[in-house]
Structure 1
Amino acid sequence: MSLDSNKGLRQYVLTRWNSTYLMLESAIHYKRAFAYLEMIDKNYMFCPNALEWENVNDISSFLGCFYCAICAFSGTKYPTANVYFPVVALIYLNLKQDLVNEDGYKRLMTSQMISKFEKYWSEFSLVLAIVVVLDPRYNLDLVKYYYTKIYRAESQEYENVTKTLTKLFMEYSAPTTSSSTIVQSQEDSDWEM
């Protein structure tokens, strides 16, 4: 049996949430080694069966999007708001897809998570969407892509983003009194004294 033994098995660390994901990923890597150990060692009695390995794969893929999000947010010393929208939208999309999961436990866990997630999403998705549109690397198409996936077709939420962007543009493109004009007129009045 040829396995990359440099990877090593990870242990669960109570104070680090990502240790569960890392532990499951390393266990999946060594799945064949566990099966081999079960065949050669009569004292080894805790080898996961096929259903348990399926559950390990499901939970690992479920936790994977959260792990990637944390890596994206903490991978830089100064994460900016434009980084958040694509990652958070992907998490929301994954949660919505897992709501229809056949596994009752996973569906229950997802429904509890999504109710908390939607509270924050409803408050901040507009701001995050506008920030990502203002980033030169992205544009409104990215917002439309995720909103179409999350809400299906044309949504009120997407229309709200476009209306807010239009109002923002109109506000900044409207002629305003220049601050230099105000300063100049104030200086002129000082000279008249």
Structure 2
Amino acid sequence: LALFAGSEPARADAASAGGWQAIAEFMESNVPEAERERAGAVLVRILNDVLYEVLNLSREGAGLAALPGDEKSQAFLTQAVIALSDAHFYPAPVAMMMTDFTQVQASVFQVARAPGKNVVYLGCLLLIVGIFAMLYVRERRLWVWLTPAGAAGDNTTETAATMAFSVNRKTIDSDREFEHLKHKLLALKKEEPASP
């Protein structure tokens, strides 16, 4: 009990001031290795029984009924002994226990000044416009190659024009648009359908 309470050290170079660690250090230095398991079980049982009696004596002194010896009480006692053992690792001289709790709800409002918020909003707007433009605006490329008269050894007097058209997404209107641009830019007359 004195070792567990930390009132006397297990040995001169003991690292722990009390708890189960002090008892383990005491057994390592005083009990042969072959008998440590059996001696440890006996010590644990004796210590638990003594602490159970001390708890009931303190309850009796406080005017409370003795703790029943059921499974729930044993689980509580086990946790209490572990808490007492680990209390030696904390430098605080007291242990706090919460006895009451009142939940207080609160709302927090924060007013902040952000000088660059207009720039950020403008950037977000341009980003959204850019995404819509990327999805819905078709990219079209048009090439017109003009060959001057008399070039490449031919004897023609007219300038030859070659036109190419490229789109990133093929649609139904692409061919119609190419025909429209061809007649518009090259000033070609549309071929009239033959009369029946």
TM range (shorter): under 0.3
- TM-score (structure 2 length as normaliser): 0.21
Q: Which has the higher contact order (CA 8 A, sep 6+)?
A: 1
Q: Normalising to structure 1: TM-score of the pair?
A: 0.21
Select the structure that is richer in helix. Answer: 1
Q: Considering fraction of residues, name the structure with more strand.
A: 2
